[in-house]
Amino acid sequence: MTKQEMTIWAAKLSVKAARSRSRSRLLRAEVARMAREVSETEEAVAATMDRLALQHPRHAVRLLDIGQAAREHAALERQRLQQYLGVQAGNDGAG
C-alpha cells in the first residue's frame, strides 16, 4: 500500500470513527430519554391505581399493590438511568 493510499484509508477510517461517535452520543441520549419516559409513565400508572383504589374499595388492595409495583419499577428505572449516566460520564473523557 502506498503512502497516498494509506493516507486516504486513514482519512476514511477517521470519518467512520467520527460518525460512530456521533451515533453513539445520539443513542445514549435516546436511552436516557426513554428511561425518563418509562419512569414518568410508571409514576402515572401508580397515581391512576391509587385513584382507582379510592373509587373501587373492593379492589383497593389489588390496585394499591399494582400501584406500588409501578412505583418500584419507576424507582428502578431512575436508578438505572443514574448508573447509566454515571458510567457514560466516566467514559466520555476516555474517547
CA distances from residue 29 to 16, 41, 66, 83, 85 in whole angstroms, order as listed: 20, 18, 30, 14, 10
**Domain range enclosing 60:** 24-92
Q: Is residue 40 part of a domain?
A: yes
Q: Is 39 contained in some domain? A: yes
Q: pTM, whole model, 2 decimals?
A: 0.71
Look at residue 71 and tell me if it is in a domain: yes
Flag whether 17 is in a domain: no
Which pLDDT tens digits describe the chain residue by residue (95 residues)? 899 999 999 999 999 999 999 999 999 899 999 999 999 999 999 999 999 999 999 999 999 999 999 999 999 999 989 988 887 666 654 44
Domain count, the chain: 1
Distance CA 62, CA 41 (A): 19
Residue 38 falls within a domain, yes or no? yes
